Amino acid sequence: MTANIRIDPTACIRCERCVRVCPAQLFARSAGDGAVGVHDPERCIVCGHCVAACPTGAVLHDSFPPERVHAFDRNDLPTPEQVMLLCRARRSNRAFTRKPIPREMLERIVEAAHRAPTASNKQEVAFTLVTSPETLERISRFTVDTFASVVRKLENPVLRPLLRMALPQMYAYLPSLKHLRDEYARGNDLILRGATALLLIHTPGDNRFGMQDANLAYQNGSLMAESLGVSQFYTGFVCTALQQDRRHAFTRSLGIEGTIHAGMALGMPQFLFTRYIDKQPLRGGEI
């Protein structure tokens, strides 16, 4: 669908911000009178950069009516030092209480995740918030059962010689998988760790950059959770188990169509960290 984009000549100051910022290069200044015009609007990806960059509101875009455009003061943004401290302070905290997370906090975490960029601005990332104790238990059980099946295959005397050659790295995880299985049988859930909420992040199955988009969303949500004092961790075990479900039967049983790429277990903390620890030295270099 072709976007309806116009330039208000009475408001345009010809600063060329729209020209410079548009990823599809839809804007250009006329060689004659220097007026800014719009070309090939069918290539618009509806990112809104042009509207957000224009200092006078001269870019008129049907997808961004006035009620969807919000001015803000950059002086209100956190300082670089505050952002860095948030990044340093963020940790995966699995020490949850049974206290429910306030609804407004969950909504802020989801909105922060939703605000993350997506490839080609497709905005196909969706979020399913699980708060039902029964559904949380189902997800833990599915994950443990999947790992128990993997353990049986790895320990099968007929399959073991072939699997050791084909998947040698899997045997390094065998003790951990057995530990998760055995602890769950004892009533100790090491999958969700007593989380009272789980945010599942998913995209349509044909989204080529679904995994990248979902994990960008996760990071936004994770930092918001940290700022709110809500503990969280990445549900790598759940995502790994879902990858074994090739037909996405369990995903569909949750009412989700597409592929779950990331998950965030959430809960109110028993305590908050007051120290951050330096990472190992940076790797890589400059070319």
Assess if residue 165 is contained within a domain: yes
From the DSSP assignment, how many helices (H) and strands (E) are in the chain?
11, 8
Claim to verify: residue 90 and residue 106 sit in the same structural domain: yes
Last residue of a domain, one of 39, 68, 97: 68
Query: 199-256, pLDDT tens digit by residue?
Result: 999 999 999 999 999 999 999 999 999 999 999 999 999 999 999 999 999 999 999 9
Domain range spanning residue 173?
75-272
Assess if residue 205 is contained within a domain: yes
User: Rounded distance, CA 105 to CA 128, Å?
Assistant: 15
Last residue of a domain, one of 68, 84, 112: 68
Q: What is the pLDDT of residue 1?
A: 61
Q: For the chain, what is the domain count?
A: 2
Q: Is the pLDDT of residue 160 over 90?
A: no
Claim to verify: residue 21 and residue 145 sit in the same structural domain: no
Claim to verify: residue 158 and residue 36 sit in the same structural domain: no
**Exposure b/e, 146-162, CB count within 10 A at least 16 = b:** bbbebbeebeeeeeeee
Q: What is the pLDDT of residue 58?
A: 97
Give the pTM.
Answer: 0.92
Residue 39 maps to which CATH number?
3.30.70.20
Claim to verify: residue 43 and residue 114 sit in the same structural domain: no
Claim to verify: residue 161 and residue 194 sit in the same structural domain: yes
